Amino acid sequence: MRILKQQMRRRLAGFGASVLLCCAPAAPAAAELAHASLQDKGGKAVGDVDLVQLSGGVLLRISLKGVPAGEHAIHVHAVGRCEPPFDSAGPHFNPAGNRHGMLAGDGHAGDLPNLHVPQGGVLTVELVSTALTLEPGKPHSLLDADGSALVVHAGADDYRSDPDGKAGERIACGVIVPSGTTVGRSPRN
């Protein structure tokens, strides 16, 4: 078990997605911002995700409320559409054409660590992915012509199985939309 944990830590660090346990990396004074409002298949709001462009990737601030307790995969999907049952969001965001899974190689750019939702269904967590950008025109931009979406799955990602980590059905989805270009202080400063 200890070896598996060490292996996962190394893979997550190498992949560039890590849970921030205390302090978020500082964002530039004028950063690209985006947002996704997560809804379940019935249209009920179950969370929000704020995305902030950092110098080396994207910070995702995830807040969930009303998601079933347990381990859930969360992925960036390739299309900015969320029509139930959320197949409209397409496959995982994968501009480099990699195999899925942090433990199976480089993984998809849209692969993120599993979320561990406690009893009560409320969770707030921050993740950083160095494989993503909010900068339009860049190869790994979430703000490309057809957009992108965040999808929460019913089960955990096994971090190995291609194409989706055996994460199960899609239970919540939110289209990622630009939300401004300043964070932390007025653009006049």
Three-class SS of the chain: CHHHHHHHHHHHHHHCEEECCCCCCCCCCCCCEEEEEEEECCCCEEEEEEEEEECCEEEEEEEEECCCCEEECEEEECCCCCCCCCHHHCCECCCCCCCCCCCCCCCCCCECCCEEECCCCEEEEEEEECCCECCCCCCCECCCCCCCEEEEECCCCCCCCCCCCCCCCEEEEEECEEEECCCCCCCCC
| Domain presence at residue 120 | yes
In sequence order, the 6+-apart residues with CB closer than 8 A to the CB of 17 are 102, 111, 112, 113, 127, 128, 129, 130, 131
Asked if residue 86 is part of any domain, the answer here is yes
Q: Tell me, yes or no, whether 185 lies in a domain.
A: no
Q: Which residues of the chain have pLDDT under 50?
A: 1-30, 183-189
Residue 80 lies in a domain: yes
Using DSSP bridges, classify how beta strands 74-77 and 57-65 pair: parallel, antiparallel or unpaired.
unpaired
pLDDT per residue as tens digits for the range 147-174: 999 999 999 988 887 777 788 899 999 9
Q: What is the pLDDT of residue 139?
A: 84
**What pLDDT does residue 31 have?**
55
Residue 75 · residue 162 · CB < 8 Å: no
Q: Which residue has the tokens 């950008």?
A: 133
Task: Quickly tell me which residue has 């995982």 as its tokens.
Answer: 92
Q: What is the pLDDT of residue 16?
A: 45
Instruction: Yes or no: say if 174 and 36 are a contact pair by the CB < 8 Å rule.
Output: yes
Question: Residue 138 is part of a domain; what is its CATH number?
Answer: 2.60.40.200
Q: Which are the contacts of 30, defined by CB distance < 8 A and separation ≥ 6?
A: 181, 182, 183, 187
Instruction: Say how many domains are in the chain.
Output: 1
Residue 181 confidence (pLDDT): 56
Residue 187 covered by a domain:
no
* pLDDT the model gives residue 95: 87
State how far the Cα of 19 lies from the Cα of 149, in Å rounded to an integer: 20
- Residue 35 placed within a domain: yes
Q: Which domain holds residue 166?
A: 2-180
- Which pLDDT does position 98 carry in this prediction? 79
- Give pLDDT tens digits for 120-143: 999 999 999 999 999 988 889 999
Residue 186 lies in a domain: no
In a domain, 131, yes or no: yes
pLDDT, residue 1, reads 44
